[in-house]
Amino acid sequence: MKQVDYIIVGQGLAGTLLAHFLQDGGKSVFLIDAGEQGTATKVAAGIINPITGRRYVKSWKVDTLIPFAKETYRSLEVLLGISIFHPRPIIRTLFNVREENDWLARTADPAYAPYMQDVADLENYQDHSIKAFSYGELKHSAQVDIGLLAKTYRLLFKEKDQLLEEKFDYEKIDFEGGKIRYGNMEAEKLIFCEGAQAVSNPFFNYLPFGGAKGEVLIVRIKETHFEKILKHRVFIVPLTDGTYWIGSSYNWKFEHSQPTEDGRQFLAARLEEVLKVPFEIVEHRAAVRPTVKDRRPFLGSHPEWPQLYIFNGLGTKGASLGPYWAKQMARHLLLDVPLDKEVDIQRFA
């Protein structure tokens, strides 16, 4: 029987970051993940966006989340020998006078000024995109290669025999002597970090989970060399290999998690409305993101089985939410530090 401190189910962004912080706290971890392709971590662009929505509001806890995320990703770059954190301003299209006035009003607010510019520098978008009514620019935004982070850490987990690549079987959980047994593994606690798969989890499916399917394109755009992110009908996100992430569609009613022709045509049409130059579709991806009713992550322990925990619900803002809340989850597990009531699943008790 192999003994560890924690078993983590799921090795997406949530599971990877939690494992990192638990190991940093001196504990042993073992992960179980089937390595499926259509997961949100492998499909997401990893955008860190401080100002969101049509009303240009600051993202929840952004003043805390963004500095902590930057510090975490930079330290992971050093630890793993990879480059994943790429600061990129976001150019926001403003479609009419009202939107422009709303933007300018926000830039005059001292709480918003650090993140917003009233005048945008379009760089290469100036010559290669259809001109909009006006533009604003966001600072302290970034693109995080969360797929590379998970892939690199996965190789390290495999090298150290810390990963079982199989679909988790809930019926194989054995509660014995206050501990958790799964196959030949024994642990003090088991944490579910399953993303959208949590809707099938018999222990935590009482939580108000939802799912939104997103489809994205990876494209090549000739002679552009965009450095900034553009939000104009779709997001155009430069990737480090010279391609661009185009997305995303949202579908709350879907039959499967695979890419669809309708999704491909929708994104291609939106991109054609934005660009003056041709593009080539390299890849078409899709995944289901976990969504939460109150848009706050799920952290905490099962009300009946205290050996079971959940860390989930990062949603579309996982790149910014993940580091901070993974650290808080680790502190709760390691030091019994109380969870923030806004994320503690006891709010649904």
pLDDT at 186: 96
Predicted local distance difference test score (pLDDT) of residue 37? 66
Amino acid present at 303: P
- 125 token code pair: 């978008």
pLDDT at residue 63 tops 70: yes
3-state secondary structure of 17: helix
Q: In the chain, how many H helices and how many E strands? A: 8, 21
The vertex-164 CA angle with 159 and 169, nearest 5°, equals: 170
How many Cβ atoms are within 10 Å of 232's Cβ, its own excluded? 21
* pLDDT, tens digit (0-9, with 9 covering 90-100), for 201-217: 999 999 998 878 899 99
* Mean pLDDT in residue range 167-174: 96
Helix or strand or coil: residue 6? strand
pTM (2 decimals)? 0.95
Q: Which value, to the nearest 10 degrees, does the dihedral of the CA atoms of residues 161, 163, 164, 167 take?
A: 180
Q: What is the mean pLDDT of residues 68-78?
A: 98
Question: 61: phi > 0 → left, psi -120 to 50 → alpha, else beta; which?
Answer: left
Q: What is the mean pLDDT of residues 226-243?
A: 95
Confidence of residue 338 (pLDDT cuts 50, 70, 90): very high
DSSP-derived secondary structure letter, 87: E
pLDDT in tens, 266-296: 999 999 999 999 999 999 999 888 788 788 9
Domain ranges of the chain: 2-44+146-208+294-348, 210-292
Residue 30 confidence (pLDDT) above 80: yes
- Residues 2-44+146-208+294-348: name the CATH superfamily: FAD/NAD(P)-binding domain (3.50.50.60)
| Residues 6+ positions from 87 with CB-CB distance below 8 Å | 141, 142
Topology (CATH) of 210-292: D-Amino Acid Oxidase; Chain A, domain 2 (3.30.9)
How many whole angstroms separate alpha carbon 8 and alpha carbon 4? Answer: 11
**Angle in degrees, CA 78, 83, 87, rounded to 5:** 110
Task: Count the neighbouring beta carbons within 10 Å of the beta carbon of residue 107.
Answer: 16
Residues linked to residue 215 through DSSP beta bridges, in sequence order? 286
Is the CB of residue 342 less than 8 Å from the CB of residue 296?
Answer: yes
Q: Extract the tokens encoding 22.
A: 């638990």
pLDDT-wise least confident of 196-200, 238-242, 248-252: 248-252
Mean of the per-residue pLDDT values for the chain? Answer: 94
For the CA atoms of 345, 141, 285, 79, what is the dihedral angle to 10 degrees? -80
CB 93 within 8 A of CB 132: yes
**Amino acid symbol at 246:** I
pLDDT at 36 over 80: no
CA angle 271, 276, 277 (to 5 degrees): 85
